[in-house]
């Protein structure tokens, strides 16, 4: 049987800021809400979200014999997380200024797994860092780390929402589990809703990806054109406005130090950059997911549309929590 205290100790020694432990089960309420969201078409161009819904909300269908979910988080808040000067028109989401978190978290989780195997040599399990359909934010709630904010992100009392998640799904029970986070602490605050420049944050803690700037600048672009409001990779607007993020500390794990500062780069600098310079400056970061050509395209397209052109209006507010 896994030792809860040992898991927490090893996670902290590995460099994780937060760690929670939850039993693997079917997250039926989350699946129901997700299916309603899909039925409304809010996934827009993200067709991959329509697949493997059953597995997404039941870790036991992803890992045979799964019993325990260990959910780990690292805060990444840095010097640009609180926002850019109003005139800056080549904004990068703050997480993308550091080494790709997929690489960092995967290595940390493997180290944690090996540490657990020292006392449980027969332990089986699997590491997850956005590598399979897994409702990691809901698992984090189950593991007591925080709640789902209005902007659909996990919000924690300690780190706000400027964090990245990784999971170990293990085939052994734990001697005890953390208590699920019981309530939203958003209160009546609607800062994230009101700060989203395209109206992508909807009632019910959902995102309309057809309106979402992050989707338009990184994922397969939706058919509708929107104003990118100066963002060329991702968007932090809903997070920078959150009171929980305003009071959150800067990142503590030095592996998440920014490797470049986008505040010193304007449109001319990005246009002048060649592939060699892009690789030197950004090759370890998530920006390689888009690549230099698409980033330049986002710069060129930025003034091409007004907010929410040809996008259906957001539904009326019904979320009272």
Counting the structural domains of the chain, the total is 1
Tell me, what's the pLDDT at 303?
A: 56
Specify if 223 maps to a domain.
Answer: no
Tell me, what's the pLDDT at 316?
A: 41
For residue 72, give the H/E element and its range. Answer: strand 68-75
Mean pLDDT of 134-161: 98
pLDDT over 70, % of the chain: 94
Q: Name which of 112, 135, 145, 147 is nearest 20 in CA terms.
A: 145
Question: Strands 201-202 and 91-92: what pairing?
Answer: unpaired
Number of Cβ within a 10 Å radius of residue 5: 9
Q: Is the pLDDT of residue 320 over 90?
A: no
Per-residue tokens: 301: 């397209």
Q: What angle do CA 262, 234, 79 make, to 5 degrees?
A: 40
Specify if 35 maps to a domain.
Answer: yes
Q: Is the pLDDT of residue 260 over 80?
A: yes
Specify if 19 maps to a domain.
Answer: yes
User: Which positions ≥6 away from 273 have C-beta within 8 Å?
Assistant: 281, 292
Specify if 110 maps to a domain.
Answer: yes
Buried b / exposed e over 115-145, threshold 16 CB at 10 Å, is bbeeeeeebebbbbbeeebbbbbbbbbbbbb
Q: Give the lowest-confidence range in 108-112, 153-157, 244-248, 301-305.
A: 301-305
d(Cα 281, Cα 110) in Å, to the nearest integer? 27
pLDDT over 90, % of the chain: 90
Round the average pLDDT of the chain to a whole number and report it.
93
d(Cα 23, Cα 54) in Å, to the nearest integer? 17
Q: Is the pLDDT of residue 307 over 80?
A: no
Q: Is the pLDDT of residue 318 over 60?
A: no
Give residue-wise pLDDT tens across range 173-227.
Answer: 999 999 999 899 999 999 999 999 999 999 888 999 999 999 999 999 888 899 9
Tell me, what's the pLDDT at 306?
A: 43
Question: Strands 206-207 and 154-155: what pairing?
Answer: unpaired
Catalytic center residues: 130
Beta bridge partners of 184: none
Buried b / exposed e over 13-22, threshold 16 CB at 10 Å, is ebbbbbbbbb
What residue numbers bound the domain in which 56 lies?
A: 4-77+99-170
Specify if 107 maps to a domain.
Answer: yes
Give residue-wise pLDDT tens across range 149-167.
Answer: 999 999 999 999 999 999 9
Mean pLDDT of 250-279: 97
Give residue-wise pLDDT tens across range 224-242.
Answer: 899 999 999 999 999 999 9
Residue 179 in 3-state DSSP? coil
Helices (H), the chain: 4-14, 28-39, 53-56, 101-117, 136-142, 191-195, 213-218, 237-240, 243-246, 267-272, 275-282, 292-301
- What secondary structure does DSSP assign to 248-313, as a single string? SPPP--GGG--SS-GGG--HHHHHH--HHHHHHHHTTSGGGGT-HHHHHHHHHHTTSS-TTTT-PP
User: Which positions ≥6 away from 58 have C-beta within 8 Å?
Assistant: 24, 25, 26, 27
Specify if 263 maps to a domain.
Answer: no
For 171, half-sphere exposure in the C-beta direction (CA atoms, 13 angstrom radius) is: 11
**Confidence category of residue 131, pLDDT binned at 50, 70, 90:** confident
Length of the chain, please?
321
Specify if 112 maps to a domain.
Answer: yes
User: Which positions ≥6 away from 12 have C-beta within 8 Å?
Assistant: 19
Residue 41 in 3-state DSSP? coil
Give residue-wise pLDDT tens across range 23-72.
Answer: 999 999 999 999 999 999 999 999 999 999 999 999 999 999 999 999 99
Per-residue tokens: 183: 């309530």
Specify if 106 maps to a domain.
Answer: yes
Tell me, what's the pLDDT at 302?
A: 58
């Amino acid at each position: 049987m896994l030792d809860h205290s040992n898991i927490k100790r090893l996670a902290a020694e590995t460099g994780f800021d937060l760690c929670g432990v939850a039993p693997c089960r079917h997250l039926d309420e989350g699946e129901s809400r997700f299916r309603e969201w899909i039925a409304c078409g809010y996934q827009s161009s993200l067709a991959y979200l329509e697949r493997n819904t059953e597995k997404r909300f039941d870790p036991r269908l992803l890992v045979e014999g799964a019993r325990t979910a260990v959910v780990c988080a690292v805060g990444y808040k840095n010097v640009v997380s609180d926002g850019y000067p109003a005139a800056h028109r080549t904004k990068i989401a703050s997480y993308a200024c550091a080494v790709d978190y997929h690489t960092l978290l995967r290595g940390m989780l493997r180290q944690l797994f090996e540490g657990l195997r020292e006392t449980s040599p027969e332990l089986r399990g699997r590491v997850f860092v956005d590598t399979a359909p897994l409702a990691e934010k809901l698992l984090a709630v189950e593991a007591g780390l925080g709640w789902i904010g209005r902007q659909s992100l996990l919000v924690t009392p300690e780190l706000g929402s400027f964090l990245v998640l990784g999971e170990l799904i293990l085939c052994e029970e734990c001697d005890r589990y953390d208590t699920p986070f019981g309530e939203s602490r958003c209160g009546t605050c609607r800062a994230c809703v009101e700060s989203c420049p395209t109206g992508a944050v909807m009632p019910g803690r959902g995102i309309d990806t057809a309106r979402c700037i992050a989707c338009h600048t990184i994922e397969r672009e939706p058919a509708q054109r929107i104003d990118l409001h100066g963002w060329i990779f991702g968007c932090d607007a809903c997070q920078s406005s959150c009171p929980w993020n305003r009071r959150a500390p800067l990142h503590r794990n030095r592996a998440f130090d920014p490797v470049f500062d986008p505040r010193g780069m304007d449109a001319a600098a990005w246009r002048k950059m060649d592939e060699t310079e892009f690789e030197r400056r950004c090759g370890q970061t998530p920006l390689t997911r888009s690549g230099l050509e698409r980033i330049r395209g986002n710069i060129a397209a930025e003034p091409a549309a007004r907010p929410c052109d040809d996008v259906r209006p957001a539904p009326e507010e019904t979320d009272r929590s």
